[in-house]
Structure 1
Amino acid sequence: MPCQLILDTLAFMHAGGRCSSVAALGANILKLKPCILVDNKDGSMGVGKKYRGTLDKVLVHYVKDTLAKYDNINTSLLFITHSGIPETYIDLVKEAVAEEIHFDEIHVTKASCTLSSHCGPNTLGILFETL
């Protein structure tokens, strides 16, 4: 499965030249939180679903949508990977995951410096293996 991450803001993508100032401004005004897809094979990035609202509501919808996409999830291990986000959001994501699927282990990890610098703070993704 591709790596999927929710961005809180497009400011860092704009600063790195990965989106226009109009796109960043529009996303900010409309409170859009894009889901960035990273292909595991070639590392290319694309935009997935765009969520709208506050980060706490968006994260719950993102978790439910992501887990509902796959019927062959290996439930032994899930990673919650973030670029620096308050613990309250991590707890919220853990609760949303538990409401959908039971995982034997859940590990919270920090994203790489490359991902963090391109996507900015409050970026979060759930990662798991499919069978």
Structure 2
Amino acid sequence: MSRSPLRLITLISFFGIIVLLKLFTNISWNIIVSIAIIMIFLEVFTFAFETEGHDLLKIFVILTSFVGLPIFVLLYLGIFNSFSNPLISLLFAVFIVIFGAMAIFTIVKLNYVEIEYDWIDEK
């Protein structure tokens, strides 16, 4: 998707979604900004894996997308402030890190599964 015209269409649709959310809903501006940040990371995520970038860039994007971004968005929305006990907020952040690590582990393990189909032998 790095050299595809779908990249431009994706960016235009992201911008359109943000404009439509602002114009036609009563959603808080913080939520709209959070959605925009997630959309930007989706675009960066697909760009980093479609190009032949550095492996460290790919590792950074994966860690940021699955661990850093959820914690940042929840901090930005003030979810951690809604808990009465700070230890509950810390425990919630630990669970987010654990779930992010499980998602990364799943992606790595799925990379080992390869299905090869030789359609030439079928003819």
Higher-Rg member (1/2): 2
The normalised TM-score by structure 1 is 0.24
More strand by share: 1
